[in-house]
Amino acid sequence: MPDALRIRPAQPQDLDAVEALARACFGASAWSRAQWAAIPPQRLLVAVAPLLTCAGYVAMQWLADEAEVESLAVQEEFRRQGVGQALLAAGLEAAHAAGVRQVFLEVRESNAAARAFYQRSGFHLAGRRPGYYHRPLEAALLLRALI
């Protein structure tokens, strides 16, 4: 991860940039600002640069000993520099500190790059959800990691 970036809990002033990044990465399926605002700060982490509000983010939810990575995105110019890995690691660390022992996520079946990223991060195939994604209609692979 570039030295100038740091990861911290999201603040209200980050939400516009988070929403814009999600919209750029996920199009029509991106969450609304209200949905982003509803996530507790310790479960929405951002990677920030001095002149860029948000280089990337990870959003997670957890209950008892299970968590879900709900969304992770990195600005194009910061990809393949360890930002996504650092965000995921920080999110998993926060979840583990809260008592989480296993983490799930869904990924498009066709998204080979994301599947490889999560596999390198310790996630393994746990199931398949046909028709989970829309635009285009596609199955999701359910991945799981023990932490």
* Residue % of the chain over a pLDDT of 90: 84
Res 30 pLDDT > 90: no
pLDDT attached to residue 53: 72
Is 77 designated active site?
no
Q: What is the mean pLDDT of the chain?
A: 93
- Rounded Cα distance between 122 and 126, Å, is 12
Res 2 pLDDT > 80: no
Domain of residue 121, residue span: 6-146
- Which range scores top for mean pLDDT: 28-32, 104-108, 130-134? 104-108
Across 82-94, average pLDDT = 97
Q: Would 78 be classed as within a structural domain?
A: yes
pLDDT attached to residue 127: 98
Nearest CA to 140 out of 113, 114, 110 is that of 110
Q: Would 138 be classed as within a structural domain?
A: yes
Outline where the chain has alpha helix (H): 15-26, 33-37, 83-97, 112-120
pLDDT attached to residue 50: 82
Q: Would 42 be classed as within a structural domain?
A: yes
* CATH, residue 79: 3.40.630.30
Q: Would 96 be classed as within a structural domain?
A: yes
Q: Would 1 be classed as within a structural domain?
A: no
Q: Would 56 be classed as within a structural domain?
A: yes
The answer to whether 79 and 113 have CB atoms below 8 angstroms apart is no
- What total number of domains does the chain contain? 1
Q: Would 126 be classed as within a structural domain?
A: yes
Given the residues 19, 66, 68, 106, select the one marked as catalytic.
106
The answer to whether 138 and 110 have CB atoms below 8 angstroms apart is yes
Is 118 designated active site?
yes
pTM: 0.93
Given the residues 57, 66, 93, 118, select the one marked as catalytic.
118
The answer to whether 50 and 4 have CB atoms below 8 angstroms apart is yes
pLDDT attached to residue 109: 97
